[in-house]
Structure 1
Amino acid sequence: MSLSFKGHTVVVTGAGGGLGRAYALAYAARGANIVVNDVSKDAAQKVVDEITSKGGKAVVNTNSVADGAAVIQTAIDAFGGVTILINNAGILRDKSLKNITDQEWDIIQLVHLKGAFSCTKAAWPIFRKQKFGRIINTSSAAGLYGNMGQTNYSAAKMGLVAFTKTLAREGVKYNIKANAIAPIAASPMTATVMPPDMLKAVGPEFIAPLVLALTHPEGPDSTGRVYELGAGYVTEIRWERTKGALFRTDDTFTPSAKAASLPPNDAAKPEVRYDGKTVIVTGAGNGLGRAYSHMFAKLGANVVVNDVSEKGAKAVVDEITKAGGKAVAAVASAEDGEGIVKTALDAFGGVHVLIANAGILRDKSFLAMTEKEWDDVIAVHLRATYKCTKACWPIFQKQKYGRIVTTCSTDVMAGATGVHSLFVNRARLSPRRERIAAQGPQKLVRAKPAIRATGSKCARTRNRWVLRACASTIPASPSYTSRARPSLCVRTRSSC
Structure 2
Amino acid sequence: MSLSFKGHTVVVTGAGGGLGKTYSLLFASRGANVVVNDFNAAAAQKVVDEITQAGGKAVVNTSSVTDGNAVIKSALDAFGSISILINNAGILRDKGFKNMSDKEWDQITEVHLQRKQKFGRIINTASAAGLYGNFGQANYSAAKMGLVGFTKTLAFEGAKYNIKAVVIAPIAASAMTETVMPPEMLANLKPEFVAPFVAAVCHPDGPDASGRLFEVGAGFIAEVRWEQSKGAVFKTDASFTPSAVKAKWSEITDFSKPKYLKSSSEIDMKGNLQAALSAPSNPQSSPQVRFDGKTVIVTGAGAGLGRIYALMYSKLGANVVVNDVSEKGAKGVVDEIVKAGGKATTAICSAEDGETIVKAALDTFGGVHVLVANAGILRDKSFTAMSEQEWDLVLAVHLRGTYKYATAKAGITGLTRSLAIEGRKYNILANVIAPSAGTAMTETVWPQEMVNAFKPDYIAPLVGYLTSEDNATDSGCLFELSGGWIAQTRWQRSGGYGFPSSKPYTPEDVVAKWKEITIFDERATHPTTTSEAIQQMINNFENKQEDAVKAKL
- Residue aligned with 1:243, SS: coil
Contact kept, 8 Å, 1:33 with 1:56, in 2: the verdict is yes
TM-score, normalization: structure 1?
A: 0.78
- Residue aligned with 2:309, SS: helix
Give 2:443's aligned residue: 460
2:317 to 296, 300, 313: 300
- Residue aligned with 2:3, SS: coil
2:150 to 149, 163, 167: 163
Give 2:429's aligned residue: 446
Give 2:344's aligned residue: 327
Q: CA deviation at 1:318?
A: 1.1
Give 2:18's aligned residue: 18
**Whole-angstrom CA distance in 2 between matches of 1:427 and 1:300:** 33
Contact kept, 8 Å, 1:135 with 1:177, in 2: the verdict is yes
Listed one character per residue, the Cα deviations across residues 274-329 of structure 1 (whole Å, up to 9, x for unaligned) are: 11111111111111111100000111111111112222111111111111111112
Contact kept, 8 Å, 2:169 with 2:213, in 1: the verdict is yes
Q: CA deviation at 1:243?
A: 2.3
**Whole-angstrom CA distance in 2 between matches of 1:317 and 1:438:** 34
Listed one character per residue, the Cα deviations across residues 108-164 of structure 1 (whole Å, up to 9, x for unaligned) are: x999x9699999887423223332210000011111111111111111110000000
Could you say if the C-alpha distance between residues 110 and 132 of structure 1 is closer, same or farther in structure 2, counting changes exceeding 3 Å? closer
**Whole-angstrom CA distance in 1 between matches of 2:239 and 2:145:** 36
The structure whose RCO (Cα within 8 Å, separation 6+) is larger is: 2
Contact kept, 8 Å, 2:121 with 2:164, in 1: the verdict is yes
Q: CA deviation at 1:72?
A: 1.1
Which amino acid in 2 is paired with 1:317? Answer: V
Gaps of 5+ in 1: 91-108, 359-380, 395-418, 475-487
**Whole-angstrom CA distance in 1 between matches of 2:191 and 2:408:** 29
Which amino acid in 2 is paired with 1:238? Answer: R
**Whole-angstrom CA distance in 2 between matches of 1:207 and 1:236:** 14
Could you say if the C-alpha distance between residues 390 and 110 of structure 1 is closer, same or farther in structure 2, counting changes exceeding 3 Å? farther
Could you say if the C-alpha distance between residues 222 and 32 of structure 1 is closer, same or farther in structure 2, counting changes exceeding 3 Å? same
Q: CA deviation at 1:217?
A: 1.3
Give 1:489's aligned residue: 483
1:389 to 379, 398, 401: 379
Could you say if the C-alpha distance between residues 177 and 284 of structure 1 is closer, same or farther in structure 2, counting changes exceeding 3 Å? same
Asked if 1:207 corresponds to 2:212, the answer is no
**Whole-angstrom CA distance in 2 between matches of 1:233 and 1:246:** 39
Which amino acid in 1 is paired with 2:421? Answer: A
- Residue aligned with 2:48, SS: helix
Note the 1:355-434 alignment, pairs <5 A. Answer: 355-358=372-375, 381=376, 385=377, 388-390=378-380, 393=383, 420-434=403-417
Give 2:6's aligned residue: 6
Give 2:357's aligned residue: 340
1:153 to 120, 125, 140: 140
Give 1:268's aligned residue: 285
**Whole-angstrom CA distance in 2 between matches of 1:472 and 1:157:** 30
**Whole-angstrom CA distance in 2 between matches of 1:492 and 1:170:** 29
Give 1:218's aligned residue: 205
**Whole-angstrom CA distance in 2 between matches of 1:10 and 1:304:** 52
User: Please, which moves more after superposition, 314-323 or 453-462?
Assistant: 453-462
Could you say if the C-alpha distance between residues 453 and 159 of structure 1 is closer, same or farther in structure 2, counting changes exceeding 3 Å? same
Gaps of 5+ in 2: 252-275, 385-401, 459-481, 488-553
Give 1:125's aligned residue: 110
TM-score, normalization: structure 2?
A: 0.70
**Whole-angstrom CA distance in 1 between matches of 2:121 and 2:298:** 41
Could you say if the C-alpha distance between residues 309 and 458 of structure 1 is closer, same or farther in structure 2, counting changes exceeding 3 Å? same
- Residue aligned with 1:21, SS: helix
Which amino acid in 1 is paired with 2:152? Answer: K
Asked if 1:469 corresponds to 2:473, the answer is no
Listed one character per residue, the Cα deviations across residues 389-434 of structure 1 (whole Å, up to 9, x for unaligned) are: 326949xxxxxxxxxxxxxxxxxxxxxxxx8432111111112111
**Whole-angstrom CA distance in 1 between matches of 2:303 and 2:292:** 24
- Percent identity between matched residues is 59
Could you say if the C-alpha distance between residues 122 and 28 of structure 1 is closer, same or farther in structure 2, counting changes exceeding 3 Å? farther
Give 2:231's aligned residue: 244
- Residue aligned with 1:59, SS: strand
Which amino acid in 1 is paired with 2:484? Answer: V
- Residue aligned with 2:437, SS: coil
Give 1:287's aligned residue: 304
Listed one character per residue, the Cα deviations across residues 51-88 of structure 1 (whole Å, up to 9, x for unaligned) are: 01111111111111111121111111111111100000
May I ask how many residue pairs the two structures share in their alignment?
410
Asked if 1:75 corresponds to 2:69, the answer is no
Q: CA deviation at 1:454?
A: 0.9
Could you say if the C-alpha distance between residues 340 and 472 of structure 1 is closer, same or farther in structure 2, counting changes exceeding 3 Å? closer
Asked if 1:437 corresponds to 2:454, the answer is no
**Whole-angstrom CA distance in 2 between matches of 1:339 and 1:180:** 38
Q: CA deviation at 1:490?
A: 3.2
**Whole-angstrom CA distance in 2 between matches of 1:14 and 1:300:** 53
User: Please, which moves more after superposition, 453-462 or 310-319?
Assistant: 453-462
**Whole-angstrom CA distance in 1 between matches of 2:85 and 2:133:** 26
- Residue aligned with 2:66, SS: coil
**Whole-angstrom CA distance in 2 between matches of 1:151 and 1:318:** 36
Listed one character per residue, the Cα deviations across residues 194-214 of structure 1 (whole Å, up to 9, x for unaligned) are: 111111111101111110111
Give 2:526's aligned residue: none
Give 2:267's aligned residue: none
**Whole-angstrom CA distance in 1 between matches of 2:63 and 2:99:** 15
